[in-house]
Structure 1
Amino acid sequence: MDESTTTGDAGPARPVVLEGEGPHPAAADRRRYRVRSRWIHTGVGVFMGLAVLYGFDLVHSIGRVPRGAEVAGIQVGGMRTEDAEQLLIRELGPRVDEEVDLRAGVVSTTLDPRSVGLSVDWQGTLDRAGEQPLNPLTRLISLVWSTEVGIASVIPDARLTDFLEKLSLQADFEPREGAIWFDRDEVRSAIPLDGQRLRIESSRDAVLAHWLDDDGVDLVVDYTPTETQADEVRALIRDVAEPAAGRDLTLLASRMREDGTEPPVTTITTRLPAPPPPPGRDRAVPAERELEMVDADDPHAVPVLFPRDRIGEYLTFVRNGAVLEPRFDADAAKGILEPLMEETEQEGRDASFSFSGSTASVVPAVPGRTVSWGPLLRALPGQLTDVQGPRVLPVAYVGRDPEVTTEEAERAGIREPVGEFTVAVGASGRAQSMIASLAGQFIPAGETFSMSDVTGVVSGDVSADAVATALFNAAFESGAQGLVRTGRGVDGAQFPAGRDATASEDVGFRNAQGTGLVIDASGSGSAVTVRLWGTREYTVRISTAPRADLRRAETRVLTSPGCTPDPGADGYTARVTRVVQRGEETVSTDTVSSTYAPRVRVECRVESPSPTAEPPGPVAPPPVPDDAIRIPGLPEFRIPVLPGN
């Protein structure tokens, strides 16, 4: 048996290899081989085709402008150089003498090419397109992509540079920040504008390259940005400034009724507009609240329009760093509205007294009210910038009750003068002011009065001292207790000795009566009078002691011209005692005193001049003897004098 076919314990049969035969490829391997061969053949074919096309394109472009070249918007790529030059001359030649639009940021102007000597080198322009590229990728891209080739300009001198330097005087400026303001009721604004600086050399190159472009030349500018943003400024104009100045705002006020009561009000539930928010934020939605407002048809309603022509006094826009913010000046708003609503306010007045002769009558108190400015001024910004609501803002008031009511005045017991004193000194301007402050002052029972709290103190004014003296003595004679005063220290015939008072210190007293006191003060050019009105409860006895501590006045004799004699006065101390009684009961015994320094006595004397000898007169000539002989009825004749006689 053949060994190759034998089976047995030796294991499986091994294949028999015949000489001259090898393994055959599988069908899948043969298929993959055919696909690879096909791709290789296709790739080689495409490459060879592209190579042929590249060579053809390269040969065809000899003597032509590189494809994709564009001059001032005119396609010259792929054209023969001569044809391209003629096309440029035909299309751009007419523009050579036309003015060129120049833009330097926000500044625009025109340039006359002839004024700076600008002309075109047409061949040089085409030369700037360069040589035909050998890179096949570049040549392929040029089929769909154009490249701008700048004009090859001819500039003979520095006139273009001089022109740009002059232009920079207008084109260069610092950043202008945004601003908003009002011209009466018109909104005025400045939108932020970046600062700019013209780059002369770069702008010169831009002009030389693009001065024949259809849309002009954009010069090269360096910018300095502003801090404020244009969008934020426009938003403030739209949301704040224009609503504030564009519509009326009505403040619904009211006046009191004739009987002194408030007009009826209606309670409404509403949402007051919120103030304008910071830039970039939405306005808040206010909560509902209840408001009291008078009916607009009520005869006591007073509608007040916020004057739009004064909106700029109230609303301003202030730059805070990089943000422009609205500022609402509450003090300015109050100054604008206060005169307009003055008629709706009522000045409160305490009950007072009027005096006629020896009788007093009560002037009734008047309740007052003033505008509640706090809530009004807080609500004003929201209402003023509201663009949806009716723009009506109710005005609330704060009542003021009188400190002295009519009932209290009627119970005060002001019936008659209980103390009165007059000082024969005319009331000057300062004294008149003190009198006006003192008149009508009410001192309730048991209360203390201080003149300095009402009028202040005045030094060195005799007229003011007269007011202080009259007040003190009226209180002194009324029986008032706790007397406070300081003497003048100067004696004067118009002032009571021992009872004078200076206005440079306080004058005070306490009303110890069971009823009130009222001061009635008046003054004229010759006297000051103060009365205390009330109900007489006391009997007052006043006695003046003889002068004590006498000090003789010094006598001074003056012989100088213009001397004014003065009788002077001796110094002394004056004491006055007051006894106050209520029926048989002695309430108090007081002694007041004043010490006066002596006043120098001045005597004026005129000294007689010393006698002087009279100068001798001229010497009389010796008498001439009269030797004439006169006989009545005969002519006069003389006897000659004999010698020796």
Structure 2
Amino acid sequence: MLERFPRRLVVPSAIALVVVLLLGLVAVRALMVAGKVPGGTRVAGIDIGGLAPRAAEARLARELADDAERPIAVTAAGHRFTISPAEAGLALDAPATVAAAGGGAPSPADLLRPWIGARTVEPRVKADAAKLSAAVEGIAKEVDRPLREGGIRYAGLRPVAVAPRPGNEIDRAAAQRAIKEAFLDPRPQVTVSPRPTAPTVSAERVRQIAQTTAKAAVARPFLLTGPGGRKATVPPADIARGLRFVADGRGSLRPQFDATAVARAADKRFVPAAQAPRDATYTVKKGRLQLVSARTGQGVDAAALGQAITGALASGGSRTVPVRVVTTPPRITDAQVRALGIKEKISTYTTQHPCCAPRVTNIQTIARIVDGHIVRPGEIFSLNGLVGRRDRARGFVPAPMILNGRYVNDVGGGVSQFATTMFNAVFFGGLQDVQHTPHSFYISRYPAGRESTVSYPQPDFRWRNDSPHGVLIKTAYTSTSISVTFWSTKRYDIESQSSGRYAVRGFETTTDSGPKCIPMPGAEGFKIDVWRIFKKDGRVVRRQKFHTVYLPEPKLTCEETPGR
């Protein structure tokens, strides 16, 4: 009779046997898949199971080559763009993808893959952060609409409200993620929705401040006080010139005053000429340039003055502001001026005038201020910015100027002849005209269509040094002439051509009386075109047209007032 084993011993033995068999199968499986991608592994639909890592990488690179080069279509705010993966710095990272798929040492799940089923692995992507960012910025440049906060600027003494405007902008990080995720798709398409951005200041608030605070800000002058009891006045026009109201981040506007021009003018009141800084420049002796070395000096602290005036405007407090005089370096050092390429005369122009009238004093005074000034490459020269308000303290005197179609006496009258002379030096020097305003009437001592008026603060005369070299301004005068000469490195030969006068209009004859009446000779009005012709090595490289309209100048006779 056979001996029977107890049931409680048979079951554990069977389980143990199954475990041993499974372990054996796993061990055999481990030997089979060692060093290979687990079977049943797919990447973007490509089966790489059972391949050695290098072979799997090669298959992925080969099979996904077309997808890796396929342009990505991006739609943003109705605009359509096509991005090249290579230009965006996107590429398949085959080694990282195979490693993520288990190519190499198998995991427990990989050993059991035949019993638990296949798996899909997402391809790993390499991205050049700088290139991807540049690709998104290219889209943003076309799609983004910059937010504009409301603000206030000035036209003369009149506050001008700048209305706020909402904007929108692309979420750069989200766009980069979406483009990266679309890479290697059979039909890579991305939609980017710009985010709206809202101004912090309402249009109504801007209008309120323009009608109240901004008007009050330029209603009265500031008094500057400095060392030795010296004083200077900042008139409302100069306040308006440097003042803006900008968003304060709390739903309103705050004043912001740029004191650069005011400080430059104040230097002449608070700093003796012998103590002022001096820029390196050149003087001309016997037709040759000689260096005049720079020096450190004293000057009004423009930043501190700007903060003080801004604070006074914000608080509505006292309009008496102390100025601080500090050590001030020169604008241009010796080494800098030597590196500017100033080596030859590039243009010169002279205009004539009768001797000894008050206007001649003003012409010569402004010439002395400008003489020796150097304009750096890319810099815009502003005649008003350099000279400032014409005043008696610096030697300017009353002389006739044109205002509202009549001659009137004003301090600094006549300096438009200097502006005209400089305009022609700019013209024949091949430099960029930025702002010039012809006289309303034609004045016979100037070349028709090649002249400019100037007043303070407007109209200004401005030009840009659009050359890669510095431009030295030298002035010279006699009792009957004023000359402006530019020294730099010559780029062009300039010629001037003019049309005939056309659309000619006759002038009226009228009379007036009173102590302020200044006779006017009368002149026809007309239109004229002038071309500036740029030549290089005898070949025309550019033509620029200047169109000028002159109004008829009335012939005004001043009658003596009865009883005088």
TM-score (norm 2): 0.37
More strand by share: 2
* Bigger radius of gyration: 1
Higher relative contact order (CA 8 A, sep 6+): 2
